[in-house]
Amino acid sequence: MSDDEALLALLGAVRDGDEADEPMDSDSLGARLGWSPTDVASRLTTARAQMLIWGARVGGNPGPKFVDLELTVQGRRFIAAAAATGDG
């Protein structure tokens, strides 16, 4: 899976959780996507650095861990742009 594919999967899972009124956090993302805690932490770090997601950072290993994740406007645009080009 490429970095962009993984990022789209992560953003899609956050969006799906929000639409289902299921608050997403690091642990629920890992369960939904079948990723290790280390992979989730790494992908969340990337998404947050690009301002694609927002969430409250909490303690835990491996860090960073987040709760109450939601997409930002930029995150929604990233998903829309991928869908428009056939990547998502």
**Tens digits of pLDDT across the chain (88 residues):** 788 899 999 999 999 998 999 889 999 999 999 999 999 999 999 999 999 999 999 988 888 899 999 999 999 999 999 999 876 5
Of 51, 78, 63, the closest CA to residue 25 belongs to 63
**Gap between the Cα atoms of 83 and 77, Å rounded:** 10
**Gap between the Cα atoms of 18 and 70, Å rounded:** 7
Q: Is the pTM of this model over 0.75?
A: yes
* pLDDT value for 53: 96
Domain 3-83 has CATH 1.10.10.10: yes
* pLDDT value for 88: 59
Domain residue ranges of the chain, discontinuous segments joined by + = 3-83
* pLDDT value for 3: 87
